[in-house]
Structure 1
Amino acid sequence: MSADDRQTLAQGRVATRLPAQDLARARRFYSERLGLEPVDERPGGLLYRCGGTEFVVFRSAGASPGTFTQMSWEVDDLDRVVSELGRRGVVFENVELPGMLGGGRTRDGIAEVEGNYPSKGARGERGAWFRDSEGNMLGIGQPVF
């Protein structure tokens, strides 16, 4: 078998796995608050697809500490998404991180983050964070060009 024939992580797809102590509660949150329905399920797990990628919420005895972003969506209109999710009852976190503009704090649930990855061609990013029903920290970002 040549090196070209071997599967490496660089060719693999990345899929997020989020723990849930109460899968039914998590399913309601993702449906009612985020407007997402699983595309498939199995005992102990729900599969969701968004924008050509997927993530799983799975039943777990463990819990997320919720101290860091575990998954994030990139959107074209952050203000519109934050407004819609807020209308659905999502509560956005007030965070303070290095690299954030405007005193390093979120304003109205949205942060201005300086810099971005050069390959994205953006000069910065706007972001917002919230927790799901299981304490997982989720983010939403919009590149600033």
Structure 2
Amino acid sequence: MLKDMELMAVLPAKDIDRAKEFYRDKLGLEPAQTIENENLIYRCGKGTGFLLYRTDNAGSAKNTQMAWGVQDVEKEVEELRARGVVFEDYDMPGLKTENGIATMEGMGKGAWFVDSEGNILNISSLPA
């Protein structure tokens, strides 16, 4: 039943205005819908999207919360850096980045950044 339904990620934001500015200025995204001035729905490719909602709990997760599948990680990193996005560097067993990009065995490449609210976001190679 659920396998055929549209899926939407949900991200917390302590400051909706600051988050809206980050997603607009850094990622080039505009909300498709605003609900009660404190909840923003963004639409992305193939019917996907995410809800950004206001809560004081934002930024508490220490794991990847949302990811975009892209054709060319290096190109996307370059374009996002030009817009002011700062990519994380990791050096731990199984995950080491070089210039912000990790090559993961059997999974392609990936890069992580943190939004204005402390949410860890990712771009990764689309599966072959």
What TM-score, normalized by structure 2, do the two folds share? 0.91
For the 8 Å contact 1:106–1:112, the answer to whether it is kept is yes
Distance 2:66 2:54 in 1: 17
Give the equivalent residue in structure 2 for 1:46.
40
The answer to whether 1:132 aligns with 2:104 is: no
The answer to whether 1:111 aligns with 2:102 is: yes
Cα–Cα, structure 1 residues 108 and 144, in superposed 2: closer, same or farther, change >3 Å? farther
Give the equivalent residue in structure 2 for 1:16.
9
1:101-135 per-position Cα deviation (integer Å, ceiling 9, x unaligned): xxxx10011000012xxxxxxxx310000000000
Fraction of identical pairs, as percent: 45
For the 8 Å contact 1:40–1:47, the answer to whether it is kept is yes
Q: CA deviation at 1:66?
A: 4.0
Distance 1:133 1:125 in 2: 27
Cα–Cα, structure 1 residues 58 and 15, in superposed 2: closer, same or farther, change >3 Å? same
Give the equivalent residue in structure 2 for 1:82.
77
Which amino acid counterpart does residue 125 of structure 1 have in structure 2?
G
Distance 2:51 2:113 in 1: 18
What TM-score, normalized by structure 1, do the two folds share? 0.81
**Structure 1 residues without counterparts, runs of 5 or longer:** 1-7, 116-123
The number of equivalent residue pairs is: 126
Structure number, greater radius of gyration: 1
Cα–Cα, structure 1 residues 144 and 54, in superposed 2: closer, same or farther, change >3 Å? closer
The RMSD of aligned alpha carbons is 1.5
SS across alignment from 1:83: helix
**Structure 2 residues without counterparts, runs of 5 or longer:** none
Q: CA deviation at 1:14?
A: 1.6
Cα–Cα, structure 1 residues 140 and 92, in superposed 2: closer, same or farther, change >3 Å? same
SS across alignment from 2:66: strand
